[in-house]
Amino acid sequence: MRAEMRQNLTGGTTESLFCSGFRLSRTLAFVLVLMTFSAFEPHSAHAVTEADAEPLVVPNAFVHQFQPEKLDIALRLYVSVPDVPPPDEGFPVLYAFDADISFIALADMARNVTMSARRVKRAPPLVVGIGYAAPEDHLKRRIYDLTPPTDIGKLPKRPNGLPWPKTGGGDAFLDVLIDEIKPFIAARYPVDDRAETLAGHSLGGLLVLHALLTRADAFDRYVASSPSLWFGDRETSDKLIAFQEQTARSVSRKIPLRLTVGRLEETPTGWRAQKGKALENRKVWLKNNRMVGNTKDLAEALAKINGAIQVSFDIYSGLGHAAANYPAFYQALEFAVGPDAFRAVGEEGKSR
- Tens digit of pLDDT for each residue in 38-92? 344 455 556 777 778 888 788 999 999 999 999 999 999 999 999 999 999 999 9
> Residue 245: phi, psi to the nearest 5?
-65, -40
At the topology level of CATH, where does 2-37+50-345 sit? Answer: Rossmann fold (3.40.50)
At 181 the pLDDT is: 98
Instruction: State the pTM of this model.
Output: 0.85
- List residues bridging with 314 in a β-sheet: 260
Per-residue pLDDT averaged across 144-149, rounded? 97
At 15 the pLDDT is: 26
At 344 the pLDDT is: 62
- Tens digit of pLDDT for each residue in 305-334? 999 999 999 999 999 999 999 999 999 999
CA dihedral 334, 2, 65, 338 (to 10 degrees): -10
210 compared with 36, residue with greater pLDDT: 210
